[in-house]
Amino acid sequence: MRTRNAIRPRKTGIMLVGILLLVLGIVMAACGLMGKSQADYYARKTNLSAGEWIDYATGKTPAPELTEEDYRGRNLNASGRAKNTVLEQLQKVTGFDKTVMPLRYVLMIIGVLAVLGGAFLLISHDVWPMVTVLAIIFYLVFLIYPLYMLLRQALLNSEGQLSFEMYEKIFSKAYYSNAIWHSLLISAVVTLVSVLIATPMAYIMSTMKIRGAGVLQILILVSSMSAPFIGAYAWIQLCGRNGVVTNLLSQIGIQLGDIYGFKGCVIVMSFQLYSLVFMFISGAFKSMDNSLIEASESLGCAGIRKVFKVVLPLMLPTLLAGALLVFMRAFADYGTPMLIGENYITLPVLVYKEFFSELGGSENLAAAISIIAIIITTGVFLLQKYIANRKVFSISALHPVEAHKAKGVRNVLAHLYCYIMVGIAIMPQCLVIFNSFRNTNGRMFAPGFSLKSYAEAFNTVSNSIWMTYLMSTISIVVIVVIACMIAYLVVRRRNVFNATVDVMSMFPETVAGSILGIALLTAFNKRPLLLAGGMFIMILSYTIRRLPYTIRSSAAILRNISPSIEEAAVSLGTGPAKTFFRVTTPMMMPGVISGAILSWIMIITELSTSIILYNPSTKTMTLEIYSQVIRGNDGVASAISAILTFSTIIALALFFRISGKKEITM
């Protein structure tokens, strides 16, 4: 592979000065802005004007006496605790402000100039170092800083001192340590079950002709793309305490075992996640050369022996990669154990409960548990990378594996197996769509069919429907822009800085959604960096979480585009930036857009981050389904789920249309 050094030795000096100026400028401008925005903030919260605050902060007037009437802000009024917080805050920032305040205009002007100067120096002969710097700043502020705050939180005790008190607590109390154990156990069992279901299925569907294989593939995809907890919800409706199947069976005298707890989590997650393993192995079959299988047969090794001696060893790296992805998903799943786990508390549930609990919860404890979860998932992630890189057999697949028609019992069994497994996986979707069209009477289902649930959904929660589409669409635009640029840096401009960007951009993949949410909340719930509770932080979290996938798919596309095409453009007199936008980007677009569509689906079906970061005005569909389910409003919940499923199907159709592919690789 060809790599090139973006920073040539001769220009390193200018480059460093440029970077320095840029960073310095941003810091100065930010400081300047901070002084002003803080004054504005306090002015909004109280009856003092910004000018009076600035006078106070610069020491011209003494600290004002605040009375109850001074507080108008929603969060502050009539709360003694909040009032104290404001005063504490004030005292903390005063020292800083006293020096910064008078200088703020100067700072801002110099800052902006420095930024412009630095940017000019960087762009003057190549635009990419500038992108590198911006990417690093982006990840430092929105990923590293929140994780640092989370870690700090985890290492503070209730008095605010550095200690391992939280960890002592976690490992001494079974309630906490059990959650870790539960999560590990569920994830391991789910992984095993998924592999056991998916491997035979992928083998059957790759080597035998199955009627309706295309439809099955789409159903598998839809089931894997659905919101995680819809499965749990559907299983409860069927086999829960008051489920349809449970009641039917008990009428004829059969008592169905309890589906709640460990068992339920494993069933629900396995049938949702086996599709990931299936896609991985199917993909491996597509890229495996049939000659290898033929060679084995012509050397006298056929049938099941061939599978174990040739096919499985070749599949093993892919199989493990898929299995570990399932492990991570199961480990991070919040919705399923919350709904069906009941007293079987897993790690994400525990974190959520500790963080938000009104009674006896501790943010520090939640942070401490989060850190443990991050360590575990990072370990698994690294293991996956290690395995994936260790034995990659690149075989040029001249003759892909073809499906042949099987005969007799083998054929019947193969069909049965695929149909039943896909049937169970897609059952939750079918059930919620079916329920969404049932007639309702209040919160109960009534005989007959109607569109009442949809009408009610649009009447009562239309905001969350539009919010979901709005925020996911904005996020995807941001993601595509950032992903293209970072992919370009990583593939075409390999150097230490861009490798750092690469690592940082991939890291969110190892952090469970709810934990990233808590980290962001911890970092950005205070002035001057108050972002919590708005649309911005939601979009930010979606962007950070979905960037790794989009960057990876974009980078893969870029690697397939020969650098000589860009060199041709450059030799014809086009600059680096123009080359990227006029030559490289158009070639990448179909692949990037199809990757983005998948990311979009994952955003609209995501729950674990949103549930931590949302406020009433940014409630999404998944959150709405969740709260309707909790409230027992099954009709509306089903209707919104159905809308979500239809959106997913339409998006998938669009994906296949644009990409021209027949399957999805993760």
Partner 1 sequence: MSVGIHFDHVVKKYGNNTIIPDLSLDVKEGEFFTLLGPSGCGKTTLLRMVAGFNTIEGGTISFDSQVINDIAPAKRNIGMVFQNYAVFPHMTVRQNVEFGLKNRKLPKDEINARVNEILETVKITEYASRLPERLSGGQQQRVALARAIVIRPNLLLMDEPLSNLDAKLRIEMRNAIKQIQNDVGITTIYVTHDQEEAMAVSDRIAVMNYGVIQHVSTPKSIYQRPSNLFVANFIGHSNTIGATADGTAGTLTFGNGYTMEYDNFEGVEGTREVKVSVRPEEFIIQEQGTPGVTATVKSSIFLGLMTTYFVELFNGETVEITEKSSISNIIPNGTEISLGFEKEKINVYTTDGEKSLTKGVIDDAHA
Contact 642, 457 (CB under 8 A): no
Among positions 4, 44, 391, 661, the unique one binding partner 1 when judged by CB under 8 A: 391
Toward partner 1, which CB reaches closer, 95 or 313?
Answer: 313
Integer Cα distance of 280 and 265 in angstroms: 23
Buried b (16+ CB within 10 A) or exposed e, 141-155: ebbebbbebbbebbb
Residue 302 within binding range of partner 1, rule CB under 8 A: yes
The DSSP element (H or E) to which 447 belongs, if any, is strand 444-449
Instruction: Compute the least distance from the CB of residue 420 to partner 1, in Å.
Output: 30
Residue 449: beta bridge partners? 438
* Three-class SS state of 296: helix
Residue 308 within binding range of partner 1, rule CB under 8 A: no
Residue 586 within binding range of partner 1, rule CB under 8 A: no
Token pair, residue 607, equals 């729950």
Q: Could you give the angle at which helices 408-436 and 213-225 cross, rounded to 10 degrees?
A: 40
Residue type, 633: N
Toward partner 1, which CB reaches closer, 298 or 460?
Answer: 298
Toward partner 1, which CB reaches closer, 299 or 477?
Answer: 299
Query: Within 10 A of 486 (CB to CB), how many other CB atoms are there?
Result: 26
Site string for partner 1, 347-386 (x = CB under 8 A): ----------------------------------------
Among positions 13, 257, 300, 408, the unique one binding partner 1 when judged by CB under 8 A: 300
Toward partner 1, which CB reaches closer, 103 or 316?
Answer: 316
Cβ partners under 8 Å of residue 416, min gap 6:
none
Site string for partner 1, 115-144 (x = CB under 8 A): ------------------------------
Toward partner 1, which CB reaches closer, 68 or 294?
Answer: 294
Token pair, residue 154, equals 């985890």
Among 143-151, 394-402, 496-504, 514-522, the segment contacting partner 1 (CB under 8 A): 394-402
Site residues for partner 1, window 280-299 (CB under 8 A)?
289, 291-292, 294-299
Residue 173 within binding range of partner 1, rule CB under 8 A: no
Cβ partners under 8 Å of residue 193, min gap 6:
266, 270, 274
Site string for partner 1, 524-563 (x = CB under 8 A): ----------------------------------------
Among positions 214, 313, 423, 590, the unique one binding partner 1 when judged by CB under 8 A: 313
Query: Within 10 A of 263 (CB to CB), how many other CB atoms are there?
Result: 14
Toward partner 1, which CB reaches closer, 393 or 417?
Answer: 393
Cβ partners under 8 Å of residue 636, min gap 6:
453, 456, 457, 460, 461, 628
Among positions 161, 172, 255, 396, the unique one binding partner 1 when judged by CB under 8 A: 396
Among 123-131, 306-314, 483-491, 499-507, the segment contacting partner 1 (CB under 8 A): 306-314
Residue 394 within binding range of partner 1, rule CB under 8 A: yes
Instruction: Compute the least distance from the CB of residue 552 to partner 1, in Å.
Output: 24
Among 253-261, 272-280, 304-312, 327-335, the segment contacting partner 1 (CB under 8 A): 304-312
Among 99-107, 225-233, 308-316, 607-615, the segment contacting partner 1 (CB under 8 A): 308-316
Token pair, residue 371, equals 């850190």
Contact 290, 229 (CB under 8 A): no
Q: For 289, which DSSP code?
A: B
Instruction: Compute the least distance from the CB of residue 291 to partner 1, in Å.
Output: 4
Residue 137: phi, psi to the nearest 5?
A: -60, -45
Instruction: Compute the least distance from the CB of residue 393 to partner 1, in Å.
Output: 3
Token pair, residue 415, equals 């069909």
Toward partner 1, which CB reaches closer, 177 or 291?
Answer: 291
Residue 342 within binding range of partner 1, rule CB under 8 A: no
Contact 293, 401 (CB under 8 A): yes
Residue 635: closest CA among 471, 448, 482, 479: 448
Q: If binding means CB under 8 A, how many residues of this protein chain bind partner 1?
A: 24
Toward partner 1, which CB reaches closer, 248 or 295?
Answer: 295
Integer Cα distance of 52 and 55 in angstroms: 5
Integer Cα distance of 646 and 636 in angstroms: 15
* Virtual torsion, Cα 201, 204, 209, 213, nearest 10 deg: 10
Token pair, residue 304, equals 């099941």
Toward partner 1, which CB reaches closer, 74 or 390?
Answer: 390
Among positions 215, 248, 395, 650, the unique one binding partner 1 when judged by CB under 8 A: 395
Instruction: Compute the least distance from the CB of residue 406 to partner 1, in Å.
Output: 14
Instruction: Compute the least distance from the CB of residue 392 to partner 1, in Å.
Output: 9
Residue 438: beta bridge partners? 449
Instruction: Compute the least distance from the CB of residue 283 to partner 1, in Å.
Output: 17
Residue 421 within binding range of partner 1, rule CB under 8 A: no
Residue type, 315: M
Contact 104, 50 (CB under 8 A): no
Q: Quick check: bond before 428 cis, omega within 30?
A: no
Among 259-267, 303-311, 543-551, 606-614, the segment contacting partner 1 (CB under 8 A): 303-311
How many residues are recorded in the chain? 666
Toward partner 1, which CB reaches closer, 26 or 292?
Answer: 292
Instruction: Compute the least distance from the CB of residue 295 to partner 1, in Å.
Output: 4
Among positions 393, 417, 437, 656, the unique one binding partner 1 when judged by CB under 8 A: 393
Toward partner 1, which CB reaches closer, 316 or 403?
Answer: 316
Toward partner 1, which CB reaches closer, 75 or 298?
Answer: 298
Contact 373, 331 (CB under 8 A): yes
Instruction: Compute the least distance from the CB of residue 404 to partner 1, in Å.
Output: 10
Cβ partners under 8 Å of residue 233, min gap 6:
339, 428, 432, 625, 629, 637, 641
Residue 360: phi, psi to the nearest 5?
A: 70, 5
Instruction: Compute the least distance from the CB of residue 308 to partner 1, in Å.
Output: 12
Toward partner 1, which CB reaches closer, 254 or 395?
Answer: 395
Token pair, residue 163, equals 């200690």
Cβ partners under 8 Å of residue 335, min gap 6:
227, 228, 229, 232, 607, 608, 622, 626
Site residues for partner 1, window 197-226 (CB under 8 A)?
none
Cα–Cα distance list, 545 to 15, 139, 404 (Å)? 31, 12, 41
Toward partner 1, which CB reaches closer, 306 or 353?
Answer: 306
Instruction: Compute the least distance from the CB of residue 207 to partner 1, in Å.
Output: 13
The DSSP element (H or E) to which 634 belongs, if any, is helix 634-659
| Interface residue list for partner 1 (CB under 8 A) | 289, 291-292, 294-302, 305, 309-310, 313-314, 316, 391, 393-396, 398
